[in-house]
Chains A and B, each alone.
Chain A
Amino acid sequence: GEQVEQRPPHLSVREGDSAVITCTYTDPNSYYFFWYKQEPGASLQLLMKVFSSTEINEGQGFTVLLNKKDKRLSLNLTAAHPGDSAAYFCAVSVGDTGGADRLTFGKGTQLIIQP
């Protein structure tokens, strides 16, 4: 089955600096890719989605790059602020279960923004 490796497990950056989190996956048929943010004791908040192509999606302070050739997905926080401190998870779906497709998650990155 699909395996997702996420790096780094812990990341500490200064406020205003950038931070990059990367996931690699194994199943070449993976089609849907997501990033979630989880604050302590809270649920998972969908940050961004990217679908099957080499694509850059930009959100509020985030950029996501998908490289299907390398089976690599990355999340780039362009100018970190204290509110970005949280755990971040990538999630991958093959999209082959008739519309109710399991997400395979990376193990997460604990991001700390230092003032």
Chain B
Amino acid sequence: DPKIIQKPKYLVAVTGSEKILICEQYLGHNAMYWYRQSAKKPLEFMFSYSYQKLMDNQTASSRFQPQSSKKNHLDLQITALKPDDSATYFCASSQRQYEQYFGPGTRLTVL
């Protein structure tokens, strides 16, 4: 059974719209993360949470808002979507500062 679930797997959006990317982990980890991977940039850290509290933020734009409703959930809301936001978004989790395990990713295409 998959231990980190990301929904949806593929997402197509129009410029200016808003989308929410879902992430749930069933590894019992207390830390969760978002990373982004695109053709233009390597794997890029976005946010980290520990016990549902924001710990680190590398995303300059306020259009990206993480949301943690439960300890094992960390969703990513993206507003006013732009074509440059097109990327694969990976959720990851870890037990404290140890190795991070990655979800399958959500591939977002903004037209």
Contact = CB atoms under 8 A, between A and B. Distances in A.
Interface string B16-54: 000000000000001111010000001111001110000
Given A98-B50, A102-B58, A32 B103 contact: no
A65 B99 CA distance: 17
Given A43-B102, A43-B104, A99 B96 contact: yes
A46 B30 contact: no
B42 to A, nearest CB: 4
B49 A100 contact: yes
Interface residues of A, number: 25
B102 A97 contact: no
Interface string A19-57: 000000000000010101000001111100100000000
* Most B Cβ at <10 Å: residue of A36, A49, A91, A101: A101
Interface stretch (A69-77, A78-86, A104-112): A104-112
Contacts of B48: 97, 100-102
B84 interface: no
B104 to A, nearest CB: 5
B27 to A, nearest CB: 12
A98 B55 contact: yes
B80 to A, nearest CB: 25
Contact of A106 (B31, B42, B44, B97): B42
A100 B102 contact: no
Interface of A: 32, 34, 36, 42-46, 49, 89, 91, 93, 95, 97-108
13 contacts: A49-B98, A89-B42, A93-B97, A99-B50, A99-B96, A100-B48, A100-B50, A100-B55, A100-B94, A102-B33, A103-B33, A103-B45, A103-B100
